[in-house]
């Protein structure tokens, strides 16, 4: 399995690396779909939104860290930790809201009411597959940073380090 991971990750790099993350997010969202089907509540996908980002960055992290000899790899690790903290906070907040109510979120009920085909396959594609794809697209900046930080050609001078710490400060305030 590990060999398959690196074969896909190396395929048309960085597209292959992005694809590895998307597949991981899709597997996770498939598990969320199975839970949603059992609970009869598709709104659980919102809990999985933040967790998808965590899965993405930690799937992409080893791809970007291929060049441990370069000292800028700490920035990729910092970004992965920041995304993890954000994703956990978001998912925990949504999960506590999810537990407070027994009814499915009205947004999902209204969304599904407008569909002609409400089969499990249609729900999976329109909600859970879409969430995995959207998370993989929204997380592209993190992917780019993770890939660049592992590249020995990425310049890391004092100006770049100041920008990094400015971004960390903005993230902390946010």
Give the SS3 label for residue 93: helix
pLDDT score at 120? 83
CA distances from 150 to 62, 83, 93, 124 (A): 9, 18, 33, 35
Give the SS3 label for residue 13: coil
- From CA 165, how far away is CA 97, in angstroms rounded? 33
Q: pLDDT tens across 108-138, in order?
A: 888 888 878 778 898 999 999 999 999 999 9
- From CA 34, how far away is CA 84, in angstroms rounded? 24
Q: pLDDT tens across 67-97, in order?
A: 545 555 677 888 899 999 999 999 999 999 9
Tokens (6 digits) for 56: 């993405």
Q: Taking Cα atoms as reference points, which of 33, 10, 3 lies closest to residue 125?
A: 33
Mean pLDDT of the chain: 83
**Residue given tokens 């597949």 in the structure block:** 23
Q: Which residues contact 165 (CB under 8 A, 6 or more apart)?
A: none
Contact 25, 55 (CB under 8 A): yes
- Checking if the pLDDT of 102 tops 70, the result is yes
How much is the average pLDDT of 3-7? 53
pLDDT score at 11? 47
Lowest mean pLDDT among 2-6, 21-25, 37-41, 125-129: 2-6
Q: Taking Cα atoms as reference points, which of 149, 141, 135 lies closest to residue 21?
A: 135
Q: Taking Cα atoms as reference points, which of 88, 87, 35, 60 lies closest to residue 150?
A: 60
């Amino acid at each position: 399995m590990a060999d398959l991971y690196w074969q896909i990750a190396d395929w048309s790099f960085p597209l292959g690396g992005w694809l590895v993350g998307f597949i991981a997010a899709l597997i996770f969202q498939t598990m969320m779909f199975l839970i949603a089907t059992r609970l009869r509540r598709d709104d659980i996908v919102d809990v999985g939104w933040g967790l998808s980002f965590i899965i993405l960055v930690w799937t992409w992290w080893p791809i970007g860290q291929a060049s441990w000899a370069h000292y800028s790899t700490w920035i990729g690790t910092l970004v992965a930790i920041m995304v993890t903290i954000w994703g956990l906070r978001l998912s925990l907040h949504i999960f506590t809201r999810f537990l407070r109510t027994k009814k499915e979120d009205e947004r999902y009920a209204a969304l599904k009411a407008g569909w002609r085909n409400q089969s499990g396959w249609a729900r999976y594609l329109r909600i859970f597959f879409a969430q995995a794809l959207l998370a993989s697209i929204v997380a592209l900046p993190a992917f780019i940073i993770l890939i660049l930080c592992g590249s020995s050609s990425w310049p890391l001078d004092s100006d770049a380090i100041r920008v990094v710490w400015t971004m960390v400060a903005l993230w902390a305030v946010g």
